[in-house]
């Protein structure tokens, strides 16, 4: 092939062309097979060729592709929304779902819904957003501004709206040696209380956070007790809680929504990756009844909208994905294989001189690499350690999601794993063995 006309992330890279799929494997045009241990970016949770999802999409193509939401609704969108509300964390109530095309779009929509809620409630002075660092909420300008990802923000800084950031709980580097998990959770949650106080509670619109941090920090759950305390603080100050479950949601951590495991519900929840599992580009915002009621009693109108909302083929594909997860009891497999993945990672890397931390939940795990295990010093940000490990694993036939970290000197290089919910025992061992070999390739070389 000559020079590509596609905007690749790396203009100089010559990328393999994937021409076929086989379960959790991708096959390129030279016949090479890659075991997909990351689903792209925690997207492909049902492998690449699930027959039921394929059939549902084909059937919908023959029925109806698109109608505009200003004039019509369609059956798969209605059914999928009802399903997402029905399995939402207790406390969500009779919510409503807005379907969009990407995680970033869902984050923008959540922020706008939060703003609309405040205005319709008679509190227009609420416009401040509090988010966390590190975090990643997407690449459109509002989502990028909300994210606490220094590297991604830097070139666009002059274009970003002002967002206030507090530290995300990151036990490996932020928890005191003698600090209990409960004390750490409390200290981290109180950062929110202090920030709301600093800004003036009557000016704060929303707190935005990932229930299990994804792309920026690497699969970091919060310490036990953090989320209930955050919920209490938000409620006390009349601040909306926006849970970004774009990566952590739809079963990735062992429950449909990661927040379920914390015993609280958010006011607005975004989801994307595992929603369509890559078979269709789709994202959603779930608004809890509290938000819906205020808007219904106010203008009764949505002050935001996109052309492709509730796209019938996209929602039909996502509906089939969610039905397969349920019918095949795949959340059980996430828990079982997740435990196996954790055990294999700990067995393999527990004593490794350059592995500082392993963290995660369900089939969502990260290995953080450090230059010095004792001091926890990260590798120099220019070292490319994680990216090189990712390349070495790819050369060995396993796809991982490496990241150079996002804030120099805070969190360093790490490799994220997000295997398919259909993973077999043999595939999980293959992933960990190959990662170990790739780490060896890079650090010994």
Interacting stretch for ligand PMP, rule CB under 6 A, among 23-31, 71-79, 103-111, 379-387?
103-111
Determine which residue in the list 95, 103, 360, 362 makes contact with ligand PMP, applying CB under 6 A: 103
Identify which of residues 39 and 47 has a Cβ nearer to ligand PMP in the complex.
Answer: 39
Question: Is 136 among the residues that bind ligand PMP (CB under 6 A)?
Answer: yes
The H or E element containing residue 411 is none
Q: Residue 4 and residue 8: Cα distance in Å, rounded?
A: 8
Q: What is the CA radius of gyration of the chain?
A: 21
Would strands 377-378 and 365-372 be described as parallel, antiparallel, or unpaired? antiparallel
Interacting stretch for ligand PMP, rule CB under 6 A, among 82-90, 151-159, 210-218, 308-316?
210-218
Q: Which two tokens stand for residue 248?
A: 């952590």
Question: Is 403 among the residues that bind ligand PMP (CB under 6 A)?
Answer: no
Interacting stretch for ligand PMP, rule CB under 6 A, among 67-75, 131-139, 384-392, 409-417?
131-139
For residue 137, give the DSSP letter: -
Identify which of residues 137 and 361 has a Cβ nearer to ligand PMP in the complex.
Answer: 137
Identify which of residues 107 and 268 has a Cβ nearer to ligand PMP in the complex.
Answer: 107
Question: Is 208 among the residues that bind ligand PMP (CB under 6 A)?
Answer: no
Q: Which residue is nearest to ligand PMP (CB)?
A: 103
Would strands 25-28 and 33-36 be described as parallel, antiparallel, or unpaired? antiparallel
Are residues 26 and 48 in contact, defined by beta-carbon separation less than 8 angstroms? Answer: yes
CB of 444 to ligand PMP, least distance (A): 31
User: HSE of 439 in the Cβ direction (CA atoms, 13 Å)?
Assistant: 21
Q: Which residues 6+ apart lie within 8 Å of 407 measured at CB?
A: 133, 134, 148, 149, 150, 151
CB of 42 to ligand PMP, least distance (A): 7
Q: Residue 291 and residue 287: Cα distance in Å, rounded?
A: 6
> The dihedral of CA 302, 306, 310, 315: what is its sign?
negative
Determine which residue in the list 21, 41, 199, 407 makes contact with ligand PMP, applying CB under 6 A: 41
Q: Residue 147 and residue 68: Cα distance in Å, rounded?
A: 31
CB of 105 to ligand PMP, least distance (A): 7
> The dihedral of CA 3, 8, 11, 13: what is its sign?
negative
Residues 137-196 that bind ligand PMP (CB under 6 A): 137-139
Site string for ligand PMP, 355-394 (x = CB under 6 A): ----------------------------------------
CB of 371 to ligand PMP, least distance (A): 27
Would strands 240-245 and 268-271 be described as parallel, antiparallel, or unpaired? parallel
Site string for ligand PMP, 251-290 (x = CB under 6 A): ---------------------x------------------
For residue 219, give the DSSP letter: S
Applying CB under 6 A, the residues found at the interface with ligand PMP are: 41, 102-104, 107, 136-139, 210, 214-215, 244, 246-247, 272
């Amino acid at each position: 092939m000559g020079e590509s006309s596609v905007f690749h992330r790396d203009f100089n890279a010559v990328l393999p062309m994937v021409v076929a799929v086989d379960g959790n494997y991708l096959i390129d045009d030279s016949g090479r097979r890659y075991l997909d241990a990351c689903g792209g970016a925690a997207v492909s949770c049902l492998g690449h060729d699930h027959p039921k999802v394929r059939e549902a999409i084909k059937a919908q193509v023959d029925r109806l592709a698109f109608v505009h939401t200003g004039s019509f609704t369609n059956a798969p969108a209605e059914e999928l929304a009802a399903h997402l509300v029905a399995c939402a964390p207790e406390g969500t109530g009779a919510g409503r779902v807005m379907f969009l095309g990407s995680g970033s779009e869902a984050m923008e929509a959540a922020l706008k819904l939060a703003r609309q809620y405040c205005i319709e409630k008679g509190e227009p002075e609420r416009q401040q957003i509090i988010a966390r660092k590190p975090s990643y909420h997407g690449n459109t300008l509002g989502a990028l501004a909300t994210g606490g990802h220094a590297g991604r923000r830097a070139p666009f800084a002059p274009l970003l709206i002002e967002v206030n950031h507090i530290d995300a709980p990151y036990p490996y580097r932020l928890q005191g040696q003698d600090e209990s998990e409960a004390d750490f959770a409390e200290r981290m949650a109180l950062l929110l209380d202090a920030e709301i106080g600093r800004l003036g509670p009557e000016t704060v619109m929303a707190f935005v956070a990932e229930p299990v941090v994804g792309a920026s920090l690497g699969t970091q759950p919060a310490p036990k007790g953090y989320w209930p305390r955050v919920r209490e603080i938000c409620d006390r100050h009349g601040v909306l809680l926006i849970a970004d479950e774009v990566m952590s949601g739809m079963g990735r951590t062992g429950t449909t929504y990661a927040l379920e495991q914390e015993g609280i519900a958010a006011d607005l929840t975004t989801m994307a990756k595992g929603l369509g599992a890559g078979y269709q580009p789709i994202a959603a915002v779930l608004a809890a009844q509290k938000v819906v009621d205020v808007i219904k009693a106010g203008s009764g109108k949505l002050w935001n909208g996109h052309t492709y909302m509730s796209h019938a083929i996209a929602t039909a594909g996502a509906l089939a994905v969610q039905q397969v997860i349920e019918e095949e009891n795949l959340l059980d497999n996430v828990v079982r294989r997740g435990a196996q993945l954790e055990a294999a990672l700990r067995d393999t890397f527990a004593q490794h001189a350059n592995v500082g931390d392993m963290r995660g939940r369900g089939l969502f795990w990260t290995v953080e690499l450090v230059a010095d295990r004792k001091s926890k010093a990260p590798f120099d940000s220019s070292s490319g350690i994680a990216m090189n490990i990712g390349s070495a694993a790819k050369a060995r036939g396993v796809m991982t999601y490496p990241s150079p970290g996002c804030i120099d000197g805070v969190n360093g290089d790490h490799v994220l794993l997000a295997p398919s919910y259909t993973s077999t025992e043999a595939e999980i061992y293959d992933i960990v063995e190959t990662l170990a070999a790739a780490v060896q390739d890079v650090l010994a070389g």
